[in-house]
Amino acid sequence: MKKIVFDFEHTLVSQSDIEKISEKLTPEIENIKKQQTLKYKTDYASLYVPFDPELLNIVEAIIKKKKKLDPYVLIVIGIGGSNLGTIAIHKALQGDFYNEKKDAMKVYFADTVDSDYLENIVQIIEGYLISGKNILINVVTKSGTTTETIVNFEIFFELIRRYRPDNYSDYIVVTTDKDSKLWDYAGQNAMDRLEVPKKVGGRFSVFTPVGLFPLGVLGINLKNLLDGAKSIIKDCTTEDIFSNPAVLSASVIFYHYKKGANIHDLFVFSKYLRSFGQWYRQLVGESVGKKFNKEGDLVEVGVTPTVSVGTVDLHSVAQLYLGGPQDKFTTFVTVQPKNEIYLPKIDVFNTFVENIQGKSVSFIMNSIFGGVKAAYENDGRPFVSVDLPAVDEYFMGQLLQLKMLEIMYLGYLLNVNPFDQPQVELYKKETRKLLSK
Amino acid sequence: MKKIVFDFEHTLVSQSDIEKISEKLTPEIENIKKQQTLKYKTDYASLYVPFDPELLNIVEAIIKKKKKLDPYVLIVIGIGGSNLGTIAIHKALQGDFYNEKKDAMKVYFADTVDSDYLENIVQIIEGYLISGKNILINVVTKSGTTTETIVNFEIFFELIRRYRPDNYSDYIVVTTDKDSKLWDYAGQNAMDRLEVPKKVGGRFSVFTPVGLFPLGVLGINLKNLLDGAKSIIKDCTTEDIFSNPAVLSASVIFYHYKKGANIHDLFVFSKYLRSFGQWYRQLVGESVGKKFNKEGDLVEVGVTPTVSVGTVDLHSVAQLYLGGPQDKFTTFVTVQPKNEIYLPKIDVFNTFVENIQGKSVSFIMNSIFGGVKAAYENDGRPFVSVDLPAVDEYFMGQLLQLKMLEIMYLGYLLNVNPFDQPQVELYKKETRKLLSK
């Protein structure tokens, strides 16, 4: 059976150091296993999500109901943890040109309060409504109080109410906490509702209805996605640390951070994994970028996540990565592509670049990636690599779940709470003052 | 007259420190002015580009000629410095949904050797060719030997030759160095050619035919773009350092880098400036990420550029930025949007978020940005900000030209050569070995 392949052989950590660090995680491995039995009652609630038999049933029932409206386009209104996971999986599996496919339901993401972007989307959607096509709006906000999401909701609410005055509520599905005002409002106005389990934070919520509903609407196989997530949780909670990819990954990031690598570069060699990088960036940034440790001491710790895309960024930041300061640790992610393309054999092109005639595009990609790995190794630049045997629901489920566990372990090693984000309140407080003027 | 507004008041640099650093740049300001008189003979050749009267004429003549073919879609084949500037300006001015506009020429960018991405584009383009529409291919590679670009060129060359066997050369425009083999090949095969001035490196080439041809084809006003670039060069070569935004910007980045901020975050509060950020990332990464200084000593210096997009990334990395290590210096970029949207007044929505009913989306955006600035200031996180009075050709020309000058000054302060990128050869050498197997 195909499996994700990990390579932990190119770091600067010795076998004994990695053992020492990983051993520190033993109590946390124990703890996580215990937490799982508590289902939704704990901060680790996200780990129960893929095992919840009810959740998928509820989501699929609403998808079935909404499909009857024959929606031509889905609009996902949400920001941060409310859309990054959805976009990550949608882009990885359906690509950048999905909306150009004739037979597929289109999708748009309304996130921030950028007038020009919003104007563009509203015009497109209004065009569909005028031409008689149906739309489906999924509003996603855990708290129900996210400013940007409420702004976008209000604008699309007005739009759908104008064009479908008799049954506009049918076209709206609200995903939010059960005790939010938005939950109540949706119920009072006959809109379908999906619950985000209370203890599951936004950045850990991709396998809840937050991600499942829009992904299911777009035709993603949700069962396979959840099966992938479930399967890797076992690997990532084994006490045999050298078989535990989440523990190893957290340990090497931690080691290099302590040695001065304050930047962790996720370098994906697949254009369609860029959004997975953006999802991971939030996961790292919010979970382990902390002013205070668990005891409340001022620590100001945090690895800064960056996302690079091969081979594009070899022509952008490779000079820095191979020549600049030793301030980075890199995780490469490669995939086996779905398509294979062979170059023709045209002799004259051989005078521009040698040894590519008649070869496959993925052979060329792999050769460049191999060249990059060799250059990193030759220059003592530490990295790990992760190779997906296929880009499908199952392995994307594994990949995202693995990263969520890695970050929990990294939070433990850094002695910070990976589940809160108190500092964001600093700008929100100032924003409220300005809005009230 | 409208002008870009700079704010240098929120850094950690004292007036006297900034004077000391900026004064170090006096000889370089002098030098740059002298280099400009040498036109294309110097490493600073990019600064002559906007003033070259011939260049725009040549580009516009070829655009006129190619428009006669009535192309339905433009395919830009290039990577790194060969497409990042084009994408930056195209996205800023024409947005993410440009290809959905009914009346506009479509555009696709073929850059890397990702089979899945490439397969998607090829299918779309083949569909157009089958339905009788014309395409225009612009191959951009300064050296004429960029592996990815030659791969992509070969694939689209085969495609156009198959569907337009009699006159396929008419649909190809090659942009490259005059002494490259590709230049000769294009000439021998009756393809139109555009020259990249020899001394202008990829990351400084946006105002050469590299950027001008595709942008002109897409309807961008090239004259205004170049006028913007020209106008800011004067401001950025004045010896009155406190009126010189490039000198001030380089000086503050340098100061904070020396104090431990190894990360420079370009935080744009406009979705359509994300690609400008990607362009700037290459400019920083390749120009000042260096293993050796000008004297050849091993130094391993370099600021790591990151790109954040507001307000999206407030829901992703703001926790890290406001809580994590003091290892960042931030440049905020804001714009005045083209469109204005007002929220309706729906009382019930006031229970979700207060004080937004009936207000404009840009007022809300500005309030969030104001909240972020206040939070950074309250927490002693240093930043500068740049506000564009409009997103148009003129101000985008100013912005990109300003940043190119900033980076030349930053290279001078770091005592590195901002015009070379020797370390990229490390992976290319290894790649060639693997390709020959």
Residue A97's pLDDT is 96
The whole-angstrom separation of Cα B79 and Cα A365 is: 14
Same domain, B64 and B141: yes
Residue A147's pLDDT is 97
Beta pairing partners, B175: B140, B194
Q: Which residues of chain A have pLDDT under 50?
A: none
The whole-angstrom separation of Cα A313 and Cα A270 is: 11
User: Amino acid identity, residue A175?
Assistant: T
For residue A32, the SS3 value is helix
Give A332-391 pLDDT, tens digit per residue. Answer: 999 999 999 999 999 999 999 999 999 999 999 999 999 999 999 999 999 999 999 999
Residue A102's pLDDT is 86
Q: Identify the CA nearest to A250 among candidates A17, A128, A95, A414.
A: A414
Please compute Rg for chain A using Cα positions: 23
Residue B319 forms part of a structural domain: yes
Residue B103's pLDDT is 86
Angle at A405 between CA A401 and CA A411, to 5 degrees: 145
DSSP state of A174: E
Residue B437's pLDDT is 85
Count structural domains, chain B.
2
Neighbours of A425 (CB within 10 A): 12
Contact between A79 and B421 using a beta-carbon 8 Å cutoff = no
Residue A40 forms part of a structural domain: no
Question: CB under 8 Å to B238, separation ≥6 — which residues?
Answer: B29, B244
Q: φ, ψ for residue B343 (rounded to 5)? A: -70, 145
Same domain, B283 and B265: yes
Same domain, B271 and B335: yes
- Write the residue in A300, A375, A428 that is nearest to B325 by C-beta: A300
Residue B395's pLDDT is 98
CB contacts, 8 Å: A185 with chain B: 348, 351-352
Helix axes B209-217, B222-235, angle to 10 degrees: 140
Same domain, B82 and B180: yes
Neighbours of A253 (CB within 10 A): 25
End-of-domain residue from the set A169, A188, A220: A220
Q: φ, ψ for residue B133 (rounded to 5)? A: -80, 150
User: Amino acid identity, residue B408?
Assistant: M
Q: A134 — alpha (psi -120 to 50), left (phi > 0) or beta?
A: beta
Q: Catalogue the E-assigned strands of A19-94.
A: 71-77
Same domain, A189 and A243: no
CA distance A92 to chain B (A): 10
Beta pairing partners, A107: A74
Residues B86/B88/B89/B92 CA torsion (nearest 10 deg): 150
Same domain, A273 and A374: yes
Residue B212 forms part of a structural domain: yes
CB contacts, 8 Å: A317 with chain B: 281-282, 285-286, 289, 305
Structure tokens given for A293: 């440790």
Same domain, A249 and A113: no
The whole-angstrom separation of Cα A160 and Cα A69 is: 14
The whole-angstrom separation of Cα A198 and Cα B39 is: 65
Q: Catalogue the E-assigned strands of B208-346.
A: 263-268, 290-292, 298-301, 304-309, 328-335
Q: B415 — alpha (psi -120 to 50), left (phi > 0) or beta?
A: left
Residue A357 forms part of a structural domain: yes
- Write the residue in B115, B302, B355 that is nearest to A362 by C-beta: B115
Same domain, B151 and B272: no
Contact between A337 and B116 using a beta-carbon 8 Å cutoff = yes
From A124, which residue of chain B is nearest by alpha-carbon distance?
A: B100
The whole-angstrom separation of Cα A436 and Cα A432 is: 6
End-of-domain residue from the set B166, B185, B220: B220
The whole-angstrom separation of Cα B252 and Cα B250 is: 6
Query: Domain residues for B123?
Result: 45-220
Residue A103's pLDDT is 86
Q: Which residues of chain B have pLDDT under 50?
A: none
CB contacts, 8 Å: A144 with chain B: 352
DSSP state of B204: G
Are A144 and A183 spatial neighbours (Cβ–Cβ below 8 Å)? yes
- Write the residue in B79, B119, B361 that is nearest to A118 by C-beta: B361
For residue B340, the SS3 value is coil
Angle at A360 between CA A355 and CA A366, to 5 degrees: 80
CA distance A1 to chain B (A): 23
Residue for token pair 């919003």: A118
Q: Residue ranges of the alpha helices (H) in A83-221?
A: 84-94, 115-130, 147-163, 181-188, 209-217
Residue B372 forms part of a structural domain: yes
Same domain, A167 and A283: no
Pairing of strands B298-301, A304-309: unpaired
CA distance B53 to chain A (A): 30
Contact between A289 and B365 using a beta-carbon 8 Å cutoff = no
Residue B431's pLDDT is 96
End-of-domain residue from the set A205, A220, A235: A220
CB contacts, 8 Å: B80 with chain A: 312, 314-316
Residue for token pair 């929220």: B343
Helix (H) or strand (E) holding A134: strand A134-140
- List the CATH number of the domain containing A260: 3.40.50.10490
Percent residues over pLDDT 70 in chain B:
100
Same domain, B232 and B293: yes
Residue B427 forms part of a structural domain: no
Q: A236 — alpha (psi -120 to 50), left (phi > 0) or beta?
A: alpha
Contact between B262 and A325 using a beta-carbon 8 Å cutoff = yes
Residue B14 forms part of a structural domain: yes
Are A135 and A34 spatial neighbours (Cβ–Cβ below 8 Å)? no
- Write the residue in A116, A361, A375 that is nearest to B151 by C-beta: A361
Neighbours of B5 (CB within 10 A): 11
Q: Got the DSSP string for A371-419?
A: HHHHHHHHTT--EEEEEES--SHHHHHHHHHHHHHHHHHHHHHTTS-TT
Query: What percent of chain B is helix, strand and coil (3-state, nearest 5)?
Result: 55, 15, 30
Are A334 and A5 spatial neighbours (Cβ–Cβ below 8 Å)? no
User: Amino acid identity, residue A238?
Assistant: T
Contact between B317 and A285 using a beta-carbon 8 Å cutoff = yes
Same domain, B247 and B325: yes
Residue A120 forms part of a structural domain: yes
Contact between A431 and B122 using a beta-carbon 8 Å cutoff = no
Reported ipTM: 0.97
From B317, which residue of chain A is nearest by alpha-carbon distance?
A: A285
The whole-angstrom separation of Cα B161 and Cα B189 is: 12
Same domain, A341 and A383: yes
The total number of residues written for chain A in this structure? 437
